[in-house]
Amino acid sequence: MRKSNEKGDNMNGNSCTLVIFGGTGDLTHRKLIPALYNLEHDSNLSENFAVVTIGRRDYTDQEYREELKQSTKSFSRFSLNESTWEKLQNRLYYKKLDFTNKDNYCELNNYLLTIDNLHQTGSNRIYYLAVAPEYFANIVDSLRSDCMKVPHAFERVVIEKPFGRDLESATFLNNKIVNAFTEANTYRIDHYLGKEMLQNIMVIRFANIFFEPLWNNKYIEQVQISSNETIGVETRGEYYEKSGAIRDMLQSHMFQLLSLITMEKPNDLSPTSIRDEKVKVLKELKNKNVVRGQYEGYRQEKRVADDSNTETFVALKVEVDNQRWKGVPFYIRTGKKMPKKSTEIVIKFNKSDNLLYDSTHLSDNLLVIKVQPMEGVFFQFNAKKPGTQHKIIPVQMDFCQNCQVGINSPEAYERLLFDVMRGDQTLFARWDEVEYSWKFVDHIIEKWIKEEPHFPNYKTGTWGPIEADELLTEDNHEWINLEGDL
Ligand SMILES: NC(=O)c1ccc[n+]([C@@H]2O[C@H](COP(=O)([O-])OP(=O)(O)OC[C@H]3O[C@@H](n4cnc5c(N)ncnc54)[C@H](OP(=O)(O)O)[C@@H]3O)[C@@H](O)[C@H]2O)c1
């Protein structure tokens, strides 16, 4: 096991060689290299930094750089500046190599040592696995081989999503990783955690005196967490057939949102304290009801089986079984081909009987955290309508983060790459978080297989099957779909 830099601290600034497996792939083109360009633009890359990407296609460094320049032009949040690109491309290399063949790793290491020396990276390495999940374990095994051992270096591994497809496969992969790297050097990507508003949830909760006292079952009636897309599976049919909404979204992104909203105040801002609190919540989750659905026309999509039983929508009610949250329903839903693209958390407060005004005439107090595509916070409260009549109306305060930073809000991958380089694990999933969320999801899927093999379709452009509404009407609640861009 590599024990270097157990604490995950970055002892050498961000001097390192970033080795991207999957250098010719979609993620590298659309996200990783544009994110590195943005970091270069903001002078966030060390002088002693280099990138080596690996693929099977034939490219010279120059051809590869030219192709990546075009992707960066298309996908960076900044327009391409020639001298900034020049700086990045001068430390960008392409290595053609079949990563499934263990024998190739001595050659790879020799090549990396040349680059390490050229850019004086201190032989620090980050291995980023931007490849199909079936290769994760194989590559991690090969990275353990004797040829890859480099003295006096930190070595970190970044694993893309999905981390397994159930608890068993996730445990298998994790065992491979802990054989080669320590937990402190393992970075499991959940790119939602890199989103600005997810990082903001903790600030909103713990940097404001007025939210924390109300953040419990005495004052909160219900919480709704939604992440919806208007598009279908498009070109991702093959991947989606093996995952579906519950594995693709619920196990990772939705549970991260839920745990940030419900966790107790951490002792401090260290990654360990924050992740300790998040995982406690995942252990306390109780499942109530689950509804799934498939959009009409899904089976006709490319690379989707004619008789596919993959869900493109899932909605569920859960409870967090602790003193703070006992009795508060958390309604979660995520789906494709919905009427609106949005990820948001709606917190609906109780209508107290202790108010001076008759609560039946008051509007709901709502706090909405808007994650994407709009970023911001919306708050609805009651106020007097101007005029001679004493009429109370709902009014809204709407903090629009996009309006302030425009479309130039930093991309999730930019923040995540930066954090790996400086050894900050806060925005990455720890193994026990992954473990407990898979346990929860496995339980639901087992029940589906045994007891509920059939499930409803829903029309495209609707909020999913009618059963998803019934999930809430049983509790005399309904989904809160805010209008417009809220
Ligand atoms: N794309 C996204 O937006 C996105 C979003 C979230 C998560 N992810 C995750 O990121 C990972 C990568 O996704 P992707 O969409 O970028 O995949 P992709 O476009 O299919 O790219 C796969 C890469 O792996 C390389 N490769 C495959 N077998 C190889 C071998 N034996 N030796 C060397 N290279 C090999 C390919 O190289 P050649 O083509 O040169 O053979 C290519 O560069 C996946 O785990 C995915 O779940 C992707």
**What CATH code is carried by the domain that includes residue 133?**
3.40.50.720
Q: What is the pLDDT of residue 152?
A: 60
Query: Does residue 479 fall inside a structural domain?
Result: no
- Burial string for 328-354 (b: 16+ CB within 10 Å, else e) reads bbbbbbbbbbbebebbbbbbbbbeeee
Separation CA 343–CA 340 (nearest Å): 10
Q: Express each pLDDT in 73-117 by its tens digit.
A: 999 999 999 999 999 999 999 999 999 999 999 999 999 999 999
Domain that holds residue 374: 193-473
First-to-last alpha carbon distance for the chain, in angstroms, is 49
pTM of the model: 0.92
- 283 and 239, same structural domain? yes
Query: Does residue 481 fall inside a structural domain?
Result: no
What's the structural domain count of the chain? 2
Q: Express each pLDDT in 46-68 by its tens digit.
A: 999 999 999 999 999 999 999 99
Instruction: Yes or no: say if 340 and 464 are a contact pair by the CB < 8 Å rule.
Output: no
Q: What is the pLDDT of residue 1?
A: 45
- pLDDT-derived band at 135 (thresholds 50, 70, 90) equals very high
pLDDT at 405 over 70: no
Mean pLDDT of the chain: 92
- 182 and 221, same structural domain? no
Task: Pick the more confident residue, 359 or 294.
Answer: 294
Query: Does residue 220 fall inside a structural domain?
Result: yes
Q: Mean pLDDT over residues 1-15, rounded?
A: 48
Q: What is the pLDDT of residue 287?
A: 85
C-alpha 393 to ligand 1 mean position (Å): 53
pLDDT at 9 over 50: no
Measured from the Cα of 53, ligand 1's closest atom is 43
Measured from the Cα of 239, ligand 1's closest atom is 47
CATH number for the domain spanning 390: value is 3.30.360.10
DSSP 165: S
Look at ligand 1, atom 41, and give the residue with the nearest C-alpha: 56
- From 20, 56, 59, 248, the mutation candidate for ligand 1 (largest count of ligand atoms within 8 A of CB) is 56
Measured from the Cα of 57, ligand 1's closest atom is 40
Q: State how beta strands 220-228 and 342-349 pair.
A: antiparallel
Q: What is the pLDDT of residue 486?
A: 44
pLDDT at 331 over 60: yes
- 208 and 185, same structural domain? no
Measured from the Cα of 24, ligand 1's closest atom is 43
- 58 and 20, same structural domain? yes
Strand partners, 368: 346, 378
Look at ligand 1, atom 37, and give the residue with the nearest C-alpha: 55
Query: Does residue 375 fall inside a structural domain?
Result: yes
- 240 and 147, same structural domain? no
Is residue 191 flagged as an active site residue? no
* Cα distances (angstroms) measured from residue 377 to each of 202, 297, 383, 397, 400: 13, 35, 19, 8, 7
Within 6 A (CB) of ligand 1 lie 22-27, 30, 54-57, 98-100, 130-133, 160-161
Query: Does residue 5 fall inside a structural domain?
Result: no
pLDDT at 3 over 50: no
Q: What is the pLDDT of residue 125?
A: 95
Catalytic residue selected from 152, 253, 361, 454: 253
Provide the token pair at 230: 């208007």
- From 19, 21, 27, 173, the mutation candidate for ligand 1 (largest count of ligand atoms within 8 A of CB) is 27
Q: What is the pLDDT of residue 271?
A: 95
Provide the token pair at 72: 């960066």
- 198 and 290, same structural domain? yes
